[in-house]
Amino acid sequence: MRILSVCIVVLCSACGGGPKPVSYSDKAKESYVLGVEALDDKNYIDAIENFSTVKTKYPYSQYAALAEVKIADAYFKQDKFVEAISAYRTFAQRRPNHAEVPYVMFMIGEGYYEQQPSKFFLFPPSFEKDKGATHDAVRSYRSYLDRFPKHGKNEVAKKKMAECRSELADFELYVARYYLSKERPVSALGRLEFLHRTFEDVSTQWALASLMLIDTYLVLGRPDKHGEVQVQDAKAKAQKVAERIVTVAPDSNSVRQAKKYLRLVGAGQPAQGRPPATQSPPVSKPN
């Protein structure tokens, strides 16, 4: 009778009557789901703990890579942008062919974007502050867009990159104005040339900087009090800038003034060196 009972138990187990053993993948999924639920509830400590469990205990499961991304997301949601960027970057480097890489590269740009100086109206203007994070955001968004031109976050990245580019142009204009207000046109020249050369995509600031550059060329093309001329080919350079304005921005408010400069320079009349209205001195010294 005992032998018969044992045989029945064995047969029932063989037929699937007993509980199924929990697999490696099931345990990984369980911890991952717990982490997602904690993340959704803004319980970031538990979320990171569960995702870390997936990474360390189940590194060969399909959930390990997803857990790495979610850990970075948890840092990001806590405004720990440095930690988030590091985690996203590590993921992209270790798993370059993973399906989550486009998202991760976009989020690196987001992390830098969020570290930009505050634009709160009671604070000093953001263009007066350090632009390191803004430069990094532009580089990151551009890298993402170049690699993944059809990813779903492209339009967001393009919009934010344009905003960052505008911030950088504002900063360069701010510094150029500062130097001009201190009667240091040679120092301003490099900033204005850089703006004219690299910021055509930021049309308003580019046209303004280009007009200021023409003025600066004409000033530096005249002998100073020591009889020295800082820019020997100032007339030709001013003409080239004016022609570029007419070509690139024919419908802008700057065209009329650019054409005026073309007539002035082309006729060989002496430059008056008038300071543009845009050269009002800044409130504080740039960093």
* 281 has pLDDT over 60: no
Task: Compute, in degrees rounded to 10, the torsion defined by CA atoms 274, 278, 281, 283.
Answer: 180
Q: Of 78, 97, 117, which closes a domain?
A: 78
pLDDT digits (tens, 9 = 90+) for 223-235: 887 778 888 899 9
Burial 72-103 (b: 16+ CB within 10 A, else e): bbbbbeeebbebbbebbbebbeebeebebbbb
d(CA 262, CA 265): 5
**Number of domains making up the chain:** 2
As a three-state string, the secondary structure of 47-75 is: HHHHHHHHHHHCCCCCHHHHHHHHHHHHH
Q: Of 78, 93, 115, which closes a domain?
A: 78
Please report, rounded to a whole number, the percentage of residues in the chain having pLDDT higher than 70.
80
- pTM for the predicted model, two decimal places: 0.80
Query: Which of the four pLDDT bands, split at 50, 70 and 90, describes residue 124?
Result: low
* 262 has pLDDT over 50: yes
172 and 273: one domain?
Answer: yes
Of 226, 214, 167, 216, residue with least CA distance to 188: 216
* 275 has pLDDT over 50: no
Query: Which of the four pLDDT bands, split at 50, 70 and 90, describes residue 244?
Result: very high
Q: Is residue 194 included in any domain, yes or no?
A: yes
Q: Of 78, 99, 120, which closes a domain?
A: 78
150 Cβ neighbours under 8 A, 6+ residues apart: none
pLDDT of residue 93: 97
d(CA 176, CA 191): 6
What type of residue is 52? Answer: S
pLDDT digits (tens, 9 = 90+) for 9-21: 444 444 444 555 5
What CATH number is given to the structural domain containing 273?
Answer: 1.25.40.10
Q: Is residue 87 included in any domain, yes or no?
A: no
pLDDT digits (tens, 9 = 90+) for 182-209: 999 999 999 999 999 999 999 999 999 9
Q: Is residue 231 included in any domain, yes or no?
A: yes
d(CA 14, CA 246): 85
pLDDT of residue 3: 44
Q: Is residue 8 included in any domain, yes or no?
A: no
d(CA 90, CA 192): 38
Q: Is residue 154 included in any domain, yes or no?
A: no
172 and 271: one domain?
Answer: yes
Q: How many helices (H) and strands (E) does the chain have?
A: 12, 0
Q: Is residue 211 included in any domain, yes or no?
A: yes
Of 259, 239, 241, 240, residue with least CA distance to 251: 259
Q: Is residue 58 included in any domain, yes or no?
A: yes
Q: Is residue 98 included in any domain, yes or no?
A: no
Domain that holds residue 62: 22-78
- The predicted model gives 113-122 an average pLDDT of 74
